[in-house]
Amino acid sequence: MQSRNPLKILLIENDPTVARRVRAALDDAKSGSLELECVSLLSEGLERLSKKGVAAVLLQLSLPDSHGIATLEQVFAAASAVPILILGGNVEEAVATDAVGRGAQDYLLPDHIDSYSLPRALHNAIERKSLEDALYLEKERALVTLNSIGDAVLCTNVSGNVTYLNLAAEKITRWQREEAIGRPFLEVFRIIDGGTREPRRDPMQMALQQNKTVGLTLNCILIRRDGSELAIEDSAAPIHDRGGFAIGAVIVFHDVSAARAMSMQMSYCAHHDFLTNLPNRLLLNDRINQSIALARRQNRSIAVLFVDLDSFKCVNDSLGHDGGDKLLQSVSNRLVLAVRSSDTVSRQGGDEFVLLLSEISKPEDAARSANKILRLLSEPCLIGGQNLHANGSIGISIYPGVRETVVHYPPS
């Protein structure tokens, strides 16, 4: 590890004999890449570290102004980014080992202070610290990225226990990371089929078994920690080590409740009349086709009633379009009340309505329904301070046989 300028090595040691050995070892190495600075007190070492520019510290734990682990702690607090090597000899090996566990890179025994072992230990410590810093920065960059994206990310180990959640996953699942880590995946991530309410297969297990990315099935509902439900979508994938072996899995998911609601709303609008909320021509045709197919299989009859209001143009002319719209809404409500829930009432446009009676025993049933509808429509309707009577006529078609008739009200 060569550098244009020599790396500054700070020796904090009050024993002149040890200091001379360290300097001689570095001089004998003749690499020119390491330059030694010596101080005998901890206070002097801390002052030098405050000025920056030190690449590594050789530290004696027993000093006139500090002793033991406290010495390391003060140096580490002053320069946590600088690798620290403990000089053995004047302290017990157990204390030196404890220092390594508390953040020191390594410790050197007296017989390792030579022109080969000392420079090598220093270069290794500096390089290792550099790699640790690079890995730390990479990890921090990844965490910041994961916490900045809108998608939720959840990871497990190969045993199926949670190892990580990003902020979006915490928000969606209502689980805090500290509480979720170590728990079984299906305890934190409970999903069901939105239609059947049955539990869905574990996507993480599927990803591991198939060793590939798998997508969540449609209409997937997440049961959050507080019991509330959320529609979600996305995929799970295995995590591999360097050898290509699966060591866990990651699932990326997001809330699609708003998108799904918007899709349902758009579908509803495409099949319903905007004024009355009744099924429109498109939805009616679909239901008629289904009813004809069912009637054919079950050998029964259906009827289609075409309702046309009388003098609707006069209402529009006298009360304006707002009055006409209110009349149409009143008529649609009465038509819905006049038939069964299994039947369909549709507005075709203007003052035209079509009713599908999905099952009738005989043609006379359709005629009786038509008369009932016309009587309901003829009852007064208060619109714009006036009582209006929505008289009309109904044409009837029956399948099979395609019988047709027309019913008027009042009877002509």
Q: Which two tokens stand for residue 189?
A: 């991530």
**Which residues are known catalytic residues?**
351
Q: Of 25, 34, 28, 22, give the one whose Cα is nearest residue 60.
A: 22
Per-residue tokens: 398? 């029956």
Element (H, E) at 111: none
Which residues have CB under 8 Å from 333's CB, separation 6+? none
Beta strand 84-87 with 56-59: parallel, antiparallel or unpaired? parallel
Rounded to an integer, what distance in angstroms lies between the CA atom of residue 306 and that of residue 326?
20
How does strand 381-383 pair with strand 344-349? unpaired
Q: Which residue type does 252 have?
A: V
State phi, psi for 135 to the nearest 5 degrees. -65, -40
- In 3D, which of 287, 248, 254 has the Cα closest to residue 271? 287
- C-alpha dihedral sign at 88, 93, 96, 100: positive
Contact of 400 with 297, CB cutoff 8 Å: no
Nearest to 249 by CA among 163, 174, 184, 177: 163
The 10 Å Cβ neighbour count of residue 232 is: 21
- CA pair distance 156, 143, nearest whole angstrom: 16
Q: Cβ(230)–Cβ(222) under 8 Å?
A: yes
Contact between residue 188 and residue 153 where contact means Cβ atoms under 8 Å apart: no
